[in-house]
Amino acid sequence: MIRWLFTTFIAVAILSGSWPWLKKIGIGRMPGDVTLRIGGRQYPFPFMSTLVVSMVVSLLVRLF
């Protein structure tokens, strides 16, 4: 459980930091991804994208 939580936290940090680049390729537009606009700034919360990326990375780690 702790590893899953840690993996999710790391994935959120990476996705949030590279948000402008990822938005161009389509990540961050899935149902479940939330973008708040407050005071002219955007605050992305890519929950569903984080889960998908975490599952893909977890699957890759298990296979190799």
Task: List pLDDT tens digits, range 48-64.
Answer: 887 888 898 899 999 98
Q: Give me the pLDDT at residue 45, please.
A: 83
DSSP assignment string, 1-64: -HHHHHHHHHHHHHHHHTHHHHHHHTTT-STTEEEEEETTEEEEEEHHHHHHHHHHHHHHHHH-
Would 47 be classed as within a structural domain? yes
pTM passes above 0.85: no
Would 60 be classed as within a structural domain? no
Range of the domain at 25: 2-55
Would 27 be classed as within a structural domain? yes
Would 29 be classed as within a structural domain? yes
Would 40 be classed as within a structural domain? yes
Would 28 be classed as within a structural domain? yes
Would 11 be classed as within a structural domain? yes
Instruction: Identify the CA nearest to 16 among candidates 34, 32, 39.
Output: 34
Would 38 be classed as within a structural domain? yes
